[in-house]
């Protein structure tokens, strides 16, 4: 996704002279094409994220559309107050690119694991929050949203070789995208982990359990109408996110279910505690129940629990 | 003409009157920068208070001196007297810290260590677009405690943002005491100098000196500029001058009368 982002930005910058790219000294071997093509619109500000957000606020107030780039933890949190008091409060078109959601920087350790970025981003009024599920959707999302008047946080994954089946690169702001249909279970996922959610769905299908999988890439504005409609059709919904279970997609779906009075039970797959141990992305995902097996197991348990409470078998 | 209209005395009189009316503090910090804002709004800032994209921007990074800014905006005719009187009232655009919904406020402030980076972004935008507007950012001396400020100091020097002008209100006081006792900033001018800025140490209450210094700056090329403006917190009211308490305290009736009499006596 990050290379797709860089290539898309190069393309957009060709016709939109307002587009700029700032990095806090990250993006080696990713951002060079932009830097070479538009040297006067590329700034490596050094290891100084707070300043990068402030600079981009000033630039945006004077008509530019600055994209600021860093690893998701640093992009979303080091300058969080500057984001709040700057582009959010003044409604300015600053684009914050946070690379590597969840455990994508696996061995990088806890400092590099973005587990709360979506939560803290989606509570800011007027801050659009987008987390694409694959590189094709990332391209579509950036192309569709880059001229929005207000600020945007994009959580961009590292993988550039994966295509989520059924998504076909679709992106619509404030909408959910259903990629497969089934009547037994609703699975709602966000971002790169959607690949595992889809595989878990295939595994469930092997047991004759058919799930609808909906991808939510636009967390703010949230696809409330789509979620309401989906939740109304199922008794159990499983949310899947590479993020703490609090504050992100799971919370959004719970809020929507409660507010709409759908009666749908929501089971959240996500990170519940600090990892506290080193390992690769697959290992860390698995420890948090976010592998295909983990999601599959949680889905079966949720359906079983639902059947018991519904049928009085327990 | 502006010199007669926006005088330090008139700004200070408004500060005393409005802070008494609203029964709020930050009076010492506001009086400290009255002369600086009189110079900026009286003569230096181009097209301030307009929506002209070519206007100079002013960022009051030490947002707790907002009342000084409101006074300048009213004397400049950007806001009217009735609006000024809503200071710190309910349903008002004039809070303790300035917000951009009020005409003439380019950027909302109140959180220290943020304004200079936004000003640097404005200065960079002007340069990239081939325009000659400038960014003036007024920071407090204690604001130089903020690490984020120094991130911008380094960036602006590296990129030679000559159209960025910082003014440090060096009154030697902060919320809990003297700056030299909290976090000693000295030698402050030297710090900015070694970071690559064009440094001017001036008396922050000398109107003519402030004006001539600002006019002497080369904002077309070279390094960014900083005026280390030596000031006195509470300047103009003897019982406030240099007293840490006036960072927060509001005025009693007697103090109010005395303050206005002193300002009148020392009117310039």
Return the structure tokens found at A98: 């946070």
Closest CA to A222 of A186, A262, A259: A259
Q: Do the bridges between strand A176-180 and strand A211-216 make them parallel or antiparallel, or are there none, so unpaired?
A: antiparallel
Tell me the per-residue pLDDT of A67-124, one tens digit each, with 9 for 90 and over: 999 999 999 999 999 999 999 999 999 999 999 999 999 999 999 999 999 999 999 9
A55 touches B: beta carbon within 8 Å: yes
Question: Which residues from chain B sit within 8 angstroms of residue A48, using beta carbons?
Answer: 151, 154-155
Smallest CA–CA separation between A92 and chain B, in Å? 12
Kindly report the pTM of this predicted structure.
Answer: 0.96
Q: In this predicted structure, what is the pLDDT of residue A276? A: 87
Q: In this predicted structure, what is the pLDDT of residue A309? A: 67
Q: How confident is the model at residue A311 (pLDDT cuts 50, 70, 90)?
A: low
Q: Which residue of B111, B118, B148 is in closest CB contact with A57?
A: B118
A50 touches B: beta carbon within 8 Å: yes
Compute the distance between CA of residue B167 and CA of residue B203 in angstroms, rounded to an integer.
12
Smallest CA–CA separation between B117 and chain A, in Å? 5
Q: Name the closest residue on chain A to residue B125, using Cα atoms.
A: A59
Q: Which residue of A41, A45, A86 is in closest CB contact with B118?
A: A86
Tell me the per-residue pLDDT of B158-206, one tens digit each, with 9 for 90 and over: 999 999 999 999 999 998 889 999 999 999 999 999 999 999 999 999 9
Does this complex have an ipTM over 0.85? yes
Q: Is B152 within 8 Å of A46 when comparing Cβ atoms?
A: no
Q: Which residues pair with A95 in a beta bridge?
A: A67, A152
Percent of chain A at pLDDT exceeding 90: 95
The mean pLDDT value of chain A amounts to 96
Q: Is B106 within 8 Å of A53 when comparing Cβ atoms?
A: no
**H/E segment holding residue A97:** strand A95-99
Tell me the per-residue pLDDT of B116-133, one tens digit each, with 9 for 90 and over: 999 999 999 999 999 999
Does residue B187 have a cis peptide bond before it, meaning omega lies within 30 degrees of 0?
Answer: yes
Does residue B93 have a cis peptide bond before it, meaning omega lies within 30 degrees of 0?
Answer: no
Q: How confident is the model at residue A183 (pLDDT cuts 50, 70, 90)?
A: very high
Cα dist. B117→A50, B120, B122, B150, B204 in Å? 8, 5, 9, 9, 23
Please state the rounded mean pLDDT for residues B143-163. Answer: 98
Return the structure tokens found at A220: 């703010």
Q: How confident is the model at residue B246 (pLDDT cuts 50, 70, 90)?
A: confident
Numbered residues of chain B with Cβ closer than 8 Å to any chain A Cβ: 53, 57, 100, 106-108, 110-111, 113-114, 116-126, 128-129, 135, 147-148, 151-152, 154-155
Compute the distance between CA of residue B119 and CA of residue A200 in angstroms, rounded to an integer.
50
**H/E segment holding residue A300:** helix A292-311
Q: Give the number of other CB atoms < 10 A from CB of residue A207.
A: 12
Smallest CA–CA separation between A150 and chain B, in Å? 16
Q: Give the number of other CB atoms < 10 A from CB of residue B264.
A: 10
Please state the rounded mean pLDDT for residues A276-284. Answer: 95
Closest CA to B23 of B75, B67, B79, B69: B67
Percent of chain B at pLDDT exceeding 70: 98
Compute the distance between CA of residue B200 and CA of residue B171 in angstroms, rounded to an integer.
16
Distance of CA A195 to the CA centre of its chain: 13
Smallest CA–CA separation between B50 and chain A, in Å? 14
Please state the rounded mean pLDDT for residues A288-296. Answer: 98
Q: Name the closest residue on chain B to residue A78, using Cα atoms.
A: B148
A309 touches B: beta carbon within 8 Å: no
Q: Which residue of A41, A51, A89 is in closest CB contact with B117?
A: A51
Compute the distance between CA of residue B40 and CA of residue B11 in angstroms, rounded to an integer.
12
Q: Do the bridges between strand A95-99 and strand A152-156 make them parallel or antiparallel, or are there none, so unpaired?
A: parallel
Q: Which residue of B106, B121, B154 is in closest CB contact with A54?
A: B121
Q: Name the closest residue on chain A to residue B107, using Cα atoms.
A: A90
Please state the rounded mean pLDDT for residues A150-157. Answer: 98
Compute the distance between CA of residue B34 and CA of residue B199 in angstroms, rounded to an integer.
21
Q: Is A63 within 8 Å of B129 when comparing Cβ atoms?
A: yes
Q: Is B124 within 8 Å of A59 when comparing Cβ atoms?
A: yes
């Amino acid at each position: 996704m990050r290379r797709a982002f860089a290539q898309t930005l190069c393309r957009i910058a060709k016709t939109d002279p307002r587009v700029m790219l700032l990095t806090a000294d990250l993006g080696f071997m990713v951002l060079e094409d932009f830097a070479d093509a538009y040297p006067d619109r590329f700034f490596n500000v050094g290891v100084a994220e707070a300043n990068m957000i402030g600079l981009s606020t000033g630039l945006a107030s004077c008509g530019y559309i600055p994209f600021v780039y860093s690893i998701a933890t640093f992009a979303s949190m080091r300058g969080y107050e500057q984001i709040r008091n700057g582009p959010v409060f003044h409604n300015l078109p600053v684009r914050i690119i946070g690379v590597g959601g969840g455990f994508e920087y696996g061995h990088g350790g806890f400092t590099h694991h973005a587990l709360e970025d979506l939560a803290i981003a989606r509570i800011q009024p007027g801050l659009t929050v987008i987390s694409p599920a694959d590189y094709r959707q990332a391209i579509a999302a950036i192309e569709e949203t880059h001229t929005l008047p207000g600020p945007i946080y994009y959580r961009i994954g590292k993988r550039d070789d994966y295509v989520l089946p059924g998504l076909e690169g679709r992106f619509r702001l404030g909408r959910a995208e259903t990629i497969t249909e089934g009547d037994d279970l609703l699975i709602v996922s966000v971002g790169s982990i959607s690949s595992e959610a889809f595989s878990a769905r295939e595994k469930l299908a092997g047991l004759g359990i058919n799930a609808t999988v909906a991808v939510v890439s636009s967390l703010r504005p949230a696809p409330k109408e789509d979620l309401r409609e989906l939740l109304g059709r199922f008794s159990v919904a499983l949310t899947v996110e590479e993020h703490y279970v609090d504050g992100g997609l799971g919370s959004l779906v719970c809020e929507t279910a409660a507010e709409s009075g759908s009666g749908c039970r929501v089971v959240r797959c996500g990170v519940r505690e600090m990892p506290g141990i080193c390992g690769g992305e697959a290992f860390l995902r698995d420890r948090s129940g976010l592998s295909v097996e983990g999601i599959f197991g949680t889905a079966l348990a949720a359906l079983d629990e639902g059947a018991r409470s519904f049928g009085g078998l327990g | 003409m502006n010199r007669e209209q926006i005088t330090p005395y008139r700004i200070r009189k408004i500060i005393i009157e409005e802070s008494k009316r609203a029964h709020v503090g930050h009076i010492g910090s506001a009086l400290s920068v009255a002369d600086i804002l009189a110079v900026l709004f009286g003569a230096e800032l181009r097209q301030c208070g307009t929506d002209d994209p070519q206007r100079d921007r002013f960022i009051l990074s030490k947002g707790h001196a907002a009342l000084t800014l409101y006074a300048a905006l009213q004397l400049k005719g950007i806001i009217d007297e009735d609006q000024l009187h809503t200071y710190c009232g309910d349903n008002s655009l004039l809070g303790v810290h300035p917000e951009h919904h009020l005409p003439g406020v380019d950027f909302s402030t109140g959180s220290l260590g943020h304004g200079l980076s936004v000003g640097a972004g404005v200065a960079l935008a002007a340069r990239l677009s081939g325009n000659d507007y400038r960014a003036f950012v007024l920071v407090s001396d204690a604001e130089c405690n903020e690490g984020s400020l120094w991130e911008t100091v380094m960036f602006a020097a590296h990129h030679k943002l000559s159209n960025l002008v910082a003014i440090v209100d060096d009154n030697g006081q902060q919320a809990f005491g003297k700056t030299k006792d909290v976090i000693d900033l000295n030698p402050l001018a030297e710090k900015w100098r070694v970071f690559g800025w064009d440094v001017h140490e001036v008396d922050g209450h000398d109107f003519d000196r402030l004006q001539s210094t600002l006019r002497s700056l080369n904002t077309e090329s070279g390094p960014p500029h900083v005026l280390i403006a030596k000031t006195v917190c509470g300047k103009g009211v003897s019982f406030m001058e240099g007293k840490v308490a006036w960072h927060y305290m509001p005025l009693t009736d007697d103090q109010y009368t005395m303050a206005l009499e002193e300002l009148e006596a020392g009117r310039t």
